[in-house]
Structure 1
Amino acid sequence: MTDPKLLGCAALISFFIGSAAIAEPAPGGRLFDDLNKYASFGAHRTGTPADLETSAWMAREIEAAGISVERRPFSVNRFVPDSAELITAGGTVAGFPAWFPAVTPPSGTPAPLVQLRADGGLEGPTNSIAWVDGDTAGVWHEVDVALWAERAATAGAVGLVLAIDHPSGKLYQQNAKPPHVQAPLPLPVLIVPASSAATIRQALGQDVTLRVTGVQEEAHGINLLGRVRRGTGPWVVVSTPTSGWFGAAGERGPGVALWLSLARAMAAQEGRTNYLFVAASGHELDYLGARTLLGEGVLPPPEAVRAWLHLGASIGTRDWEIRDGRAVPLERMQPNSYAFANEQLQERLHRALAEVTAIRVLPVEHLPESRGGELTLYRDAGYPVAGFVGSHRYFHTPRDQPDVTSPALLAPFDRALQQFLNDLSSGD
């Protein structure tokens, strides 16, 4: 007969084994937790409290893994929006100021609303507010906001309302471009979603009021340099941008989460490879943080770097399907993400990403500067680069929230990129 005490012990062991199995974290769970933490700070515009808190949190996380962190501030001309709207007889249309904002008086600028043609002519009097609809403005990711502002100012307008027809139907904000990264546009510009067009068209020829107001301040962003120094051997650099217009959960969150995961993993390993973990703010301001780092002489020279892995936009974000007019999330990757690598790293990255069948690895030389973000800056500085660029359904919109990805979509990238880094250091 079996001893009842043994039966009790067996049951207890079974309970704990079962509980451990249930409690085992799902793949990608910590990545998604970090992504949610990133999103919880709010709008990540450079130099804002949310941006500074993000940098401080990331620094603490990798310091806890034993990594030495250098915090490098850089100056930024910060604009804090107060109001951004067009007031018409048919209602108020909310938008967002084009960067860098020129402002109206606090009460707004009253004037007739008139169409601005593609040739730059106003279909009405000067001293009016110009309107450019989504069709006239062009394809959403190719709209030249500064050019339209120059056309409107040259035509004698006192303000511009510009619709950008983003595929999601949401408000879409472009990154700032020279010469208006830190200097105002020639006139106040309100960006609105194309869905506002019907209300605005009804106001053509009528008096409206444009309000673009806010506070301009001297501020600073933070670049982080986390070093795992093991001797005189080569460096492997892992970088990610940290800032963005809004919550940027899918645009920036996956890169931030993967950066943290890779930093923890590499710090825990032995070897002779030196690692540098770069987290640069200023992304939406023409990559201001990365440009500052490249100009400061604090990075290892290209000849001392074995590889530079850049964790750019929209890694592991999901695809969507439109059903009955609603966007339904799918548990598969969207098709607008790309990996690029130089010749010496292309096969390594392709091999590491074998599990991620939705990603192709393309030659980085084919990546245009206008589409490549910081990756093209590091490439053009002579570094042996590999990395990711892309967009997703809610890219650069206020709707970019954590549900645009999932633990299951992020986990394969963590496995692949740890393999990529381990492969690079296998000869140590």
Structure 2
Amino acid sequence: MSRTTPPAGPVSLCRPDWLYKIVVDYAGFGAHLTGTDADRSTADWLTNLICEIGGTATFEPFAFDRFDVRAKLVTNGRAVPSVPLYYSATGSFDTDDVQVVRFGAGVAGSASAFEERLRSLDSRAVVIAVDGPDELPVQCNRFPTKMLGVPGVIVPGNWFDRLGKAQLRLRFDASIEPATSANVLATFGSADSPVIAVTTPLTGWTPAAGERGTGLAAALAVAVELSSEYSVHFSACSGHEIDHIGLRHHLAQRDVRSVPVIHFGASIGAGAVEPGVSGALELASTRMALTTATGPCRADIAELTTGANWTLRDVEPPWPGEGGTWQEAGAPVLSFLGPFTLFHTAHDTPERATTLEALHLATTVALAAARRFLEDASQ
């Protein structure tokens, strides 16, 4: 894995080629599940990168229960494309007593919404067809402390009808293992300047180029850009896909009620690249911005964010995503997040999920909105 090299000389880190290289390197580690080798390698790479671009980086370790699982769903002797349902059950199972259900795509990023649907099921094993791209299982966020009690797998939504009357067999073996992970923390700028936080999740179910990589690239660029005016406390927290456990560990140790937070959540520079068409991407319209700002500042942010196809929304607490976890902790927040076509699928790779132009546009628009938010927060 080649390390990302920042631009030489006094050049903005918002350069499209540098931003895209971050995404490529991040996705190159593979599936970013918390506590895995990919998670640890990504954290090491990120700390090196932070030092190269002028920051000071540290690890913030935490312990958790990691779900270790192997699962296979078979019909008529053929394997069905599937991914395990994490934190569903422990032990070994080989059963044909399987309930097949269908969930909408909206549950993928919400552990609470997914959990609510799961509790209505009644069987020895469950197969969940989650709506999304044909033939691609859409993995769903989970609570690491709420076991379902029965084994399960997730299959593509377009398999629901064909599995309804099929003979199915699920082989499933899972255990809980003690594990550790670590948040990556950094500082940029002078300690004498006003303190702000720039934050983004670090982990996810897949290579997560669009979902996570574009947000990481944008967060790093914005942190460096703002460091000439602020003391930037940067955090990339692990455990996103399992109830934000890294961020919850981070916030349990500090008071953030007076710290303005710029949060880069899912799909910052993501859309869906048309295969074989260079540069063809429209930033997903399902993406949104949320903020605690009010009055003229809120109106200005609403206007700015439309430039990258974000919609500023009114959402009652709790907000979705890790921006909501910061908001619950009492911080003033500007949060960018949302799903896109390849969200939580194995096809979330750089060449399919983003382009240099789309990523650069999203980053520069986010930076402008962040400056307006911070201007208001300082008054």
Normalising by structure 1, we get a TM-score of 0.75
User: Does structure 1 conserve the Cα–Cα contact (< 8 Å) formed by 2:267 and 2:287?
Assistant: yes
SS in 2 for 1:218: strand
2-side partners of 1:45 and 1:54: how far apart?
11
**2:63 aligned to 75, 89, 97, which one?**
75
Counterpart residue number, 1:51: 39
Q: Shift in Å at residue 39 of structure 1?
A: 0.2
In the alignment, which residue of structure 2 is the partner of 1:212? 172
Matched, 1:391 2:354: no
> Is contact 1:90–1:199 with CA below 8 Å preserved after alignment?
no
Gap regions ≥5 residues in structure 2: 1-12
Deviations 1:327-370 (Å, cap 9, x if unpaired)?
A: 998322221111122225535534654743x223335xx2553x
Of 379, 388, 391, the residue aligned with 2:327 is 379
Alignment of 1:112-261 (within 5 A): 128-132=97-101, 134=102, 137=103, 139-142=104-107, 145-147=114-116, 149-153=118-122, 157-168=123-134, 170-177=136-143, 181-203=144-166, 206=167, 208-228=168-188, 230-261=190-221
In structure 1, the partner of 2:29 is 41
Residue type of the alignment partner of 2:205: W
Contact 1:39 1:401 survives alignment (8 Å):
yes
Q: How many residue pairs are counted as aligned between the two chains?
A: 358
Structure 1 counterpart of 2:81, from 82, 94, 97: 94
Superimposed CA distance per residue, residues 244-300 of structure 1 (whole angstroms, 9 cap, x where no aligned partner): 011111111111111222233344x3x4x2110011111001111111111122xx5
Indicate the structure (1 or 2) with the bigger Cα radius of gyration: 1
Distance 2:77 2:356 in 1: 44
Partner residue of 2:72?
85
Secondary structure, in 3 states, of the residue corresponding to 1:185?
Answer: coil
Question: Residue 193 of structure 1: CA displacement?
Answer: 1.2
Aligned partners of 1:67, 1:261: CA distance in 2, in Å? 12
Check 1:73–1:320 CA distance in 2 against 1; reply closer, same or farther (3 A cut). Answer: same
Q: 1:276 to 1:348 in 2, by over 3 A?
A: farther
Which runs of at least 4 in structure 1 moved beyond 6 Å after TM superposition?
326-329, 425-428
The alpha-carbon distance between structure 1 residues 419 and 146, as it changes in their structure 2 partners (threshold 3 A), is closer
2:257 aligned residue: 302
Alignment partners' CA distance in 2, 1:347 and 1:52: 41
Task: Provide closer, same or farther for how the CA distance between residues 354 and 162 of structure 1 changes in structure 2, counting only shifts above 3 A.
Answer: closer
- Tell me the secondary structure at the aligned position of residue 169 of structure 2: strand
1:7-49 Cα shifts (integer Å, max 9, x gaps)? xxxxxxxxxxxxxxxxxx9951111110000000000011111
Choose the corresponding residue for 1:339, options 289, 302, 309. 289
Number of the residue aligned with 2:349? 401
* Contact 1:149–1:186 (CA under 8 A) maintained in structure 2: no
The secondary structure found in structure 2 opposite 1:284 is coil
* Structure 2 equivalent of residue 13 of structure 1: none
Q: 1:409 is matched by which residue type in structure 2? A: A
Matched, 1:265 2:225: yes
Question: Please, which moves more after superposition, 379-388 or 38-47?
Answer: 379-388
For 1:342, give the aligned amino acid.
T
Match of 2:9 in 1: none
CA distance, structure 2, for counterparts of residue 40 and residue 174 of structure 1: 22
1:194 CA drift (Å): 2.2
Match of 1:19 in 2: none
Partner of 2:94: 109
Cα deviations by residue, 1:136-189 (Å, 9 ceiling, x for unpaired) = x4x221485545554444xxx321122122255521111003xxx235321111
Normalising by structure 2, what TM-score? 0.84
Distance 1:147 1:337, change over 3 A: closer
Compared CA separation, residues 380 and 334, structure 1 to 2 (3 A): same
Alpha-carbon shift at residue 418 of structure 1 (Å): 3.7
CA drift of 1:80 comes to: 3.0
Q: Could you tell me whether the CA contact under 8 Å between 1:346 and 1:386 is conserved in 2?
A: no
